[in-house]
Structure 1
């Protein structure tokens, strides 16, 4: 049973489907990739990042936070096993925003050849990585509105720049659906672009709703899901509606992921996204 913010997804064939993998024969064909991105609103690129790089950063992240009570005692940090006790939130926030987010390790991951180099190739020119890069972990058993990322599309956060910005979501560890990966509302980038152009959006707010089943009924669309593995990435349009599933892992593992944004350097840049991410930055 798949849930998001406590809402149970309709798993009928009309409301639930699978994210399509990008075929291997298209991986080095820029024109084919652009056709796929425009058509379905996303690219699932399996094994895009070296497994060792992802796991090294995962270990760096959880090791840095080991003293906050976040992790189960006696477990290796890279396992990401959540503790059952309280977390020192003051220490956690200080380490996250003062040490991890601005770290050279994080920057290196997000600008590596498999990421930054890929965007330079795909966008066919010099690119800009937004400094505001977001890291999230979700603990198992957290349910109810506000515990998982609600349905939204990214452009509502990036109004001051180009609408051709692309997001990359990177699971920092294996992420089956039970761990709370992303879900995409199939084909909704077409409807959103039309509504944006016509000025007929009824809900321009950043977060559309936590009720994923009702949103699927409204758009007559399917939520698309898959099991992600270390090294996989999702590249998606700024207009495609997406959300996160609940983490219901029975082994106590936390989901760790990052989402970053790239665009052509020559396109307008949203100046508000040029500082390090902080959860109180108002964006």
Structure 2
């Protein structure tokens, strides 16, 4: 039985309202037996690893990022860059929340790459894709809607592993990722149901994939309303506090979203999404080059 996590009502919130009572992500240690970690990953669709990357390395990256942004005035005067405290005199709309690239150090970090290679069994074929996403989530801004990653990696087999890396501590109400309980099986079911209907209508497998993509929201999301989505599917959201050094691995169809950053100290949530594949098998090669305007990804 998973433990319950509670917080002040209304603070743990998504686009369509407060989440209220939720379940907790189950933490794991990187030094646990690989067979046990793999079984947990397959059963849950995710693996919440505590302290995989050295704490100081993560904070160094956080410092460098916010030191680069400090001249913009995004940080409160008199605070240290590593704290990432949002300037209350500034408008959140002035600072975009997502950028491509910028996470190469983590893609190549030996603590992460060596674990991925061993955990997956890909060994020397384990490849960290160059295209990465660096997201900052300023308090009070719009969070990420409901989705799974295979929606965005359509040109390859659903065998990739996503590593979500919080770059700094994230409070429970600080805008971290949330995962739908048994969300991997639901993601596969959603896609399989659509594919069966499309094929029954006479579409080829590729046409069915294209049709599925075209029926997603313009942003590639399943829903902008995580609360309603969980209620409709009768599954709870799983949440956690995150610490610098933690990593969450999840499967291509694992459904996830994020909460509104309601950090009372105005801490900016910073994190990166990294994807790893088995280079010996078909994968979405569009993700192995850096972002270019109009590249269709």
Q: TM-score, normalised by structure 2?
A: 0.82
Q: Does 1:7 align with 2:11?
A: no
More off after superposition, 151-160 vs 171-180: 171-180
Whether the aligned pair in 1 keeps the contact of 2:171 and 2:263 (CA below 8 Å) is no
Whether the aligned pair in 2 keeps the contact of 1:69 and 1:85 (CA below 8 Å) is no
27, 44, 48: which one aligns with 1:21: 27
Structure 2 residues without counterparts, runs of 5 or longer: 1-9, 198-211
Q: Does 1:160 align with 2:155?
A: yes
Matches within 5 A, 1:162-241: 162-198=157-193, 199=195, 204-205=216-217, 206-241=220-255
- Structure 2 Cα separation of the partners of residues 213 and 262 of structure 1: 30
Structure 1 residue 192 displacement after superposition: 2.0
Cα separation, partners in 2 of 1:216 and 1:33, compared to 1, 3 Å: same
Q: Does 1:107 align with 2:107?
A: no
263, 267, 276: which one aligns with 1:262: 276
- Structure 1 Cα separation of the partners of residues 92 and 232 of structure 2: 41
1:57-95 deviation digits (Å, cap 9, x = unpaired)? 0001000111112111221111101112347999x78xx
Structure 1 residue 200 displacement after superposition: 5.4
Structure 1 residue 158 displacement after superposition: 0.3
- Structure 1 Cα separation of the partners of residues 294 and 85 of structure 2: 27
Whether the aligned pair in 2 keeps the contact of 1:47 and 1:232 (CA below 8 Å) is yes
RMSD of aligned C-alpha atoms?
2.4
SS of the equivalent of 1:179 reads coil
SS of the equivalent of 1:60 reads helix
Partner of 1:274: 288
Structure 1 residues without counterparts, runs of 5 or longer: none
Partner of 1:49: 53
Structure 1 residue 152 displacement after superposition: 0.3
Structure 1 residue 6 displacement after superposition: 5.0
Structure 1 residue 282 displacement after superposition: 4.3
| Residue-pair matches, total | 264
Partner of 2:205: none
- Structure 2 Cα separation of the partners of residues 269 and 182 of structure 1: 25
SS of the equivalent of 1:220 reads coil
- Structure 2 Cα separation of the partners of residues 69 and 121 of structure 1: 43
